[in-house]
Amino acid sequence: MIGARGMSEPLGHIVYRAASILAALVVLFAAFNFVDNISNGEPMVPLPALALALIIWLIGLGCRYVSLARRAERIRHHTKQA
């Protein structure tokens, strides 16, 4: 059955994927900015943008970790009851 609760993907995975895509976009824009700065004669690495991308990705990774831990706990709880 499509859309059944047992078959749905955990919210943490969805947030992780969205955070990964957003972080990749930030890195992409930072790379374009770096290339533009080089063409203007100002070779400046956009460290704040790269740090922001890392923070976004780490938040997504944390959400995925918490989601997996909660799911494992629910599975353990259900097996103890059976």
For CA atoms 44, 55, 60, 78, the dihedral sign is positive
pLDDT tens digits for 2-37? 555 555 778 888 999 999 999 999 999 999 999 999
Q: Does 6 reside within a domain?
A: no
pLDDT score of 63: 92
Q: Does 1 reside within a domain?
A: no
Q: Does 54 reside within a domain?
A: yes
Q: How many domains does the chain have?
A: 1
pLDDT, mean of residues 48-63: 95
> What's this model's pTM, rounded to 2 decimal places?
0.75
Cβ–Cβ < 8 Å for 49, 26: yes
For the record, the structure tokens of 17 come out as 């994927």
Q: Does 77 reside within a domain?
A: yes
- Please tell me the distance from the alpha carbon of residue 19 to that of residue 25, in angstroms, as a whole number: 10
Q: Does 40 reside within a domain?
A: yes
Residue numbers of the domain that contains 42: 11-81
Question: Whole-number mean pLDDT of the chain?
Answer: 85
pLDDT score of 30: 94
Q: Does 2 reside within a domain?
A: no
